[in-house]
Amino acid sequence: MRRRGVSDALYQEIILDHYKHPHGRGLREPYQAEAHHVNPTCGDEVTVRVLVKDGLVEDVSYDGAGCSISQAAASVLYELVHGRPLTDAMARHEAFLTLMSGRGQVEPDEELLADGVAFAGVARYPARVKCALLPWMAFKDATARAMAEEATAS
Amino acid sequence: MAGLGEFSVEKVRQDFPILERSVNGYPLVYLDSANTSQKPRAVLDAMTEHLERHNANVARSVHTLGTESTAAYEGARAKVAAFIGAAAPEEVVFTKNATEALNLVAYSFGQRLGPGDEIVISELEHHSNIVPWQLLCERTGATLRWFRLTDEGRLDLSTLDELVNERTRIVSIAHVSNTLGTVNPVAPVVKRAHEVGALVMLDGSQAVPHLPVDVTALGIDLLAFTGHKMLGPTGIGVLWARASVLEDLPPFLAGGSMVETVTLEGTTFLPPPARFEAGTPPIVEAVGLGAAVDYLSALGMDAVAAHERYLTTYALDALSTVDGLRIFGPTVPVDRGGTLSFELAGVHPHDVGQVLDSVGVQVRVGHHCARPTCVRFGVPAMTRASVHVYTTTDEIDALVRGLERVRKVFS
């Protein structure tokens, strides 16, 4: 039995589209906090900035260099969290994390994750899970910093 | 034995059980031997037989099994010594891997260094031949310097006389680059280093498995390499040093098997190699490495090198037909090994490696533990295909077909 190749499972059209035509790419002002994350095994890196106002993720901007999975994940991150209530964004973060740690056994919640469901196939490739999570972990980190700053300021 | 003069890759492949398997529904095309090599049945059998029939600890038993195990372990040392042209088996120290061998020297030799002393490495080193020296310089105040690379990925020797000077204590460079495939010119470096009284160590991890390496002919002082890249098992590496150099080095790791007399006030140490082999060594791994050396010797290292030179020439030609592909390192098969790193325009190496895997082709992607090399060529990562004694031109063709597929997916 010959499989039709990994591209069917891993490189979904949605992922390749986000990679070739990224949404919301580029670092923008203003922002409250940023986080720079690196995948030391491959040298991929991403910087994510967040601007949270009145419990709303007003903007999330990013820049980086890396494989299609990490870059598409950043584009999907932007689509899923910008303009959303922070609680909503964190719920999506949680759902994406659960999907990626599910080794392909987790049924993705399409309502929460929208284009993010295309990453279900990535969860089956342990070496690539880190790529998909890179911008999401940077987002979480940047948000935590932004919240900490807000707490000190108020 | 110098080999039979008739090298048949098809015959060689029958000795490697793993080459029968398939990956993702395609025949396995293993092009990651610079990472770790596959193992012939002779190595697997030697290790199994040792564990089934002769297993005991070494160098401390009077019983029969202990004697047999010690003979097997010391026999492996003698085989390795002969394989690299060492003057005596006692010049061979077994370590965990090449990294430990390099650390041993950086630590032991490094104890005598201080401010004003210089260590010379190069821009194409594996991290294992960079970081131990950086740590040593932090501890001692010595200065780390390095050879630059030419755009073709060769050592820039134009600075040799200034770089290696009377302050230089040791020059430690790769014999063959693990990313660029470059075979470094050892002779001029040895000549200059010895003129100023410095030692020369080679990281032979990518050389000893592929080329005839004769430490006496090279005129070097120390050599580090690893077993698992030369058809042997993981968990065993080698430090060779000229007897006069080795005898002069203080201990590195301390414990049992490396001492003469221990009192609570102090300890005297055994001569090399035992001085550097504290604790129970990798016994069955040494036996496996001995079998790997026998296997390579039976093929003949000249024949192995000729086969790989042919593959390298073929691969350089074949890869040059792929649109958007850029080779890092020498593009001509002169002073060049069969490790081919490249980029495919617009496609990240991770993606290249993943699509290749989907058609059974196993390559390495990333910075290959040689980040300064990647930085030198302005890329965060590379895709690397590497050959060994069992690699065929058909497999190079499969790589090229796989790369065409990569281009299609990402077009």
Shortest CA distance from B360: residue in chain A? A5
B369 has a pLDDT exceeding 90: no
- Report the gap between the CA of A124 and the closest CA in chain B (Å): 12
Domains and CATH numbers, chain B: 9-30+300-403 (3.90.1150.10), 44-298 (3.40.640.10)
The 10s digit of each residue's pLDDT in B119-132 is 999 999 999 999 99
Secondary structure class of B52 (helix, strand, coil): helix
pLDDT band at A107 (very low <50, low <70, confident <90, very high): confident
Judged against a pLDDT cut of 70, whether residue B258 lies above it is answered with yes
Task: Tell me the C-alpha to C-alpha distance, in Å, between residue B274 and each of A13, A123, B17, B106, B256.
Answer: 60, 48, 35, 18, 10
Give me the total of CB pairs closer than 8 Å, taking one residue from chain A and one from chain B. 65
Q: Is the pLDDT of residue B135 over 70?
A: yes
| Whether B76 contacts B205, CB under 8 Å | no
Quote the pLDDT of residue B5.
55
Domains and CATH numbers, chain A: 6-153 (3.90.1010.10)
Which residue has 């303009």 as its token pair? A83
Residue B25 touches chain A, beta carbons under 8 Å: yes
- List, in sequence order, the alpha helices (H) in B300-362: 301-319, 349-358
- The ipTM is 0.81
Closest by Cα among A55, A52, A60, A2 to A27: A60
B151 to B184, B331, B378: CA distances (angstroms): 15, 11, 11
Contact B119, B169 (CB under 8 A): yes
Distance CA A45, CA A142 (A): 15
Residue A1 pLDDT > 70? no
Q: Which helix (H) or strand (E) holds B26?
A: strand B26-27
| B366 reaches A (C-beta below 8 A) | yes
pLDDT of residue A74: 97
The answer to whether residue A51 neighbours chain B at the CB level (below 8 Å) is no
Task: Indicate which of A6, A46, A125, A133 best probes the interface with B, i.e. most B CBs within 10 Å of its own CB.
Answer: A6
Of A5, A45, A69, the CB nearest to B358: A5
Closest approach of A1 to chain B, Cα-based (Å): 6
Q: Could you tell me which residues are beta bridge partners of residue A61?
A: A49
Rounded to an integer, what distance in angstroms lies between the CA atom of residue B353 and that of residue B405?
Answer: 11
Indicate yes or no: CB of A43 within 8 angstroms of CB of B366: yes
| Helix, strand, coil shares, percent, chain A, to 5 | 55, 20, 25
* Cβ(B149)–Cβ(B155) below 8 Å: yes
Q: How much is the pTM?
A: 0.91
> Which residue reads 């006030």 in tokens?
B265
Q: Do A3 and B405 touch (CB under 8 A)?
A: no
Q: Which residues of B touch A66 (CB under 8 A)?
A: 348, 350, 380
Catalytic residues of B: 369
- What residue type is B260 in one-letter code? E
Which of A7, A8, A12, A16 to substitute to test the interface with B, most B CBs within 10 Å?
A7
pLDDT surpassing 50 at residue B207: yes
Among B149, B122, B336, A81, smallest CA distance to A95 is for A81
Nearest to A128 by CA among A64, A76, A79, A72: A72
Per residue in B7-37, pLDDT tens? 999 999 999 999 999 999 999 999 999 999 9
